[in-house]
């Protein structure tokens, strides 16, 4: 089937922006395909408890979400083919890629001791209380990882094996980024650099979440090296902007809007860009207080400590510095887009999407 892309320049003011309408279309199709990935006849009679766990995992996976990665796969494919036509197998591939993202979220939620994800309880709290729920969620995540690979390969698109190999290589780097993110939280702030926070953002989010989906779609569409390189660079910039915005939401956000806790980065002691940008600008006394606050035991990181942490990061310029970094990365992505083709308005849709992501609150 073919997607009929909205016209960015001619969209009436009383309807949803084109990039939003396009995302809604992608979300609907991908979520339908994602639901089908949980229909596994060979597992139906394994055990009622396993069937129940799969139902819970399906509910978790199908909660309302942006579905950015599948959208970027379709955008990369459309730019490569210079067409809005979407081969049926591409929906299955995109759903498989989104399922792999779900697997990573499940494991992240356990590692971060999170309570909320997309406006609901994290999977490990759905499965069982305490450590048992965490153990069970890790196993379910492993299952979804295997299922995601099956789904991508089952698409039988030309060159799909090579594309999956490329994406798995990126996922190895994502694991390194997640490791560094967790490991840096054990280090004194004085031993962490802004460069390290940017490297984590690049490894953990930018390549895996943005560059790779664009490049995967382009590879499946038969793109040349010039287009793949251009999309890789655009993805790196928009992915960096996305992660830095996430760092701001993770400290200054509104949980009712974000759909997840907005004190988690402080509670877990994450060394994020706004914190480190404030630290390098702080007075000696300010640095000492930031060190003390971030080193507090979790049970002492109450509302008063959070408010003080936010005030310090704000007063020493960490929030403003991060906002500026988001804008710089977004501008870089949008400049890079101008060198790409604009067949059927796809480049314009990506440009509008980048601008939208830079301003997001969730």
> Given this model, what pLDDT does residue 283 score?
97
Does the pLDDT value for residue 215 go beyond 70? yes
Can you list the alpha helix ranges (DSSP code H) found in the chain?
18-36, 48-61, 68-81, 88-111, 123-127, 130-154, 160-184, 194-201, 212-220, 225-252, 255-258, 264-267, 273-281, 284-294, 303-315, 318-337, 346-358
What is the mean predicted confidence (pLDDT) over 287-311?
Answer: 95
CATH 1.10.600.10 fits 18-359, yes or no: yes
What is the mean predicted confidence (pLDDT) over 260-278?
Answer: 89
What is the mean predicted confidence (pLDDT) over 308-324?
Answer: 97
> Given this model, what pLDDT does residue 8 score?
43
What is the mean predicted confidence (pLDDT) over 124-140?
Answer: 96
Instruction: Write the DSSP symbol of residue 310.
Output: H
Can you list the pairs that 303-311 forms with residues at least 24 positions away whose Cβ atoms lie under 8 Å?
A: 305/266, 306/263, 306/266, 309/251, 309/266, 310/251, 310/252
Residue 353 in contact with residue 92, Cβ under 8 Å?
Answer: no
Query: For the CA atoms of the chain, what is the radius of gyration?
Result: 21
Does the pLDDT value for residue 10 go beyond 70? no
What are the structural domain ranges in the chain? 18-359
What is the mean predicted confidence (pLDDT) over 222-233?
Answer: 96
Q: How confident is the model at residue 9 (pLDDT cuts 50, 70, 90)?
A: very low
Spell out the residues 6+ positions from residue 128 whose beta carbon is closer than 8 angstroms to its own. Answer: 136
Euclidean distance between CA atoms 46 and 52, whole angstroms: 11
* Mean of pLDDT over the chain: 91
Euclidean distance between CA atoms 91 and 101, whole angstroms: 15
Lowest mean pLDDT among 194-203, 324-333, 338-347: 338-347
Q: How confident is the model at residue 13 (pLDDT cuts 50, 70, 90)?
A: very low
Beta-carbon-side half-sphere exposure of residue 153 (alpha carbons within 13 Å): 12
Instruction: Write the DSSP symbol of residue 298.
Output: G
What is the mean predicted confidence (pLDDT) over 120-131?
Answer: 95
What is the mean predicted confidence (pLDDT) over 145-174?
Answer: 96
12's tokens: 């009436």
- Count other Cβ atoms within 10 Å, centred on residue 223: 21
Q: How confident is the model at residue 355 (pLDDT cuts 50, 70, 90)?
A: confident
Does the pLDDT value for residue 271 go beyond 90? yes
Q: How confident is the model at residue 317 (pLDDT cuts 50, 70, 90)?
A: very high
Q: How confident is the model at residue 18 (pLDDT cuts 50, 70, 90)?
A: confident
Euclidean distance between CA atoms 251 and 307, whole angstroms: 10
Angle at 76 between CA 70 and CA 78, to 5 degrees: 100
Euclidean distance between CA atoms 314 and 302, whole angstroms: 18
How does pLDDT run across 234-262, given as a tens digit for each residue?
999 999 999 999 999 999 987 766 566 67
Does the pLDDT value for residue 130 go beyond 50? yes
Which of 55, 150, 40, 41 has its CA nearest to residue 95?
150
Euclidean distance between CA atoms 216 and 230, whole angstroms: 13
Instruction: Write the DSSP symbol of residue 6.
Output: P
> Given this model, what pLDDT does residue 11 score?
47
> Given this model, what pLDDT does residue 12 score?
47
> Given this model, what pLDDT does residue 362 score?
66
């Amino acid at each position: 089937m073919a997607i009929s892309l909205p016209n960015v320049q001619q969209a009436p003011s009383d309807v949803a922006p084109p990039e939003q309408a396009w995302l809604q279309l992608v979300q609907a199709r991908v979520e339908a395909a994602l639901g089908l990935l949980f229909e596994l006849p060979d597992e139906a009679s394994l055990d009622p408890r396993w069937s129940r766990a799969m139902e819970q995992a399906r509910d978790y996976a199908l909660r309302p979400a942006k579905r950015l990665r599948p959208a970027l796969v379709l955008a990369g494919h459309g730019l490569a083919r210079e067409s809005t036509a979407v081969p049926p197998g591409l929906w299955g591939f995109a759903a498989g890629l989104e399922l792999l993202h779900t697997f990573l979220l499940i494991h992240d939620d356990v590692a971060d001791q999170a309570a909320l994800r997309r406006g609901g309880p994290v999977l490990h709290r759905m499965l069982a209380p305490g450590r048992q729920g965490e153990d069970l969620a890790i196993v379910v995540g492993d299952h979804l990882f295997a299922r995601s690979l099956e789904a991508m390969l089952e698409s039988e698109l030309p060159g799909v094996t090579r594309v999956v190999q490329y994406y798995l290589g990126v996922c190895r780097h994502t694991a390194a980024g997640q490791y560094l993110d967790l490991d840096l939280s054990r280090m004194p702030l004085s031993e962490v650099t802004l460069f390290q926070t940017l490297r984590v953002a690049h490894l953990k989010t930018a390549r895996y979440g943005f560059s790779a989906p664009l490049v995967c779609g382009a590879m499946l569409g038969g793109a040349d090296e010039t287009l793949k390189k251009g999309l890789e660079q655009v993805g790196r910039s928009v992915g960096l902007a996305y992660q830095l915005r996430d760092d701001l939401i993770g400290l200054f956000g509104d949980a009712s809007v974000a759909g997840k806790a907005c004190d988690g980065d402080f509670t877990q002691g994450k060394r994020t860009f706004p914190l480190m940008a404030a630290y390098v600008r702080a007075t000696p006394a300010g640095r000492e207080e930031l060190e003390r606050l971030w080193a507090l035991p979790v049970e002492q990181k109450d509302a008063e400590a959070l408010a003080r942490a936010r005030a310090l990061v704000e007063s020493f310029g960490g929030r403003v510095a991060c906002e500026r970094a988001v804008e710089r990365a977004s501008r870089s992505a949008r400049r890079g887009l101008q060198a790409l083709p604009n067949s059927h308005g796809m480049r314009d849709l990506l440009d509008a999407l980048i601008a939208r992501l830079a301003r997001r609150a969730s």
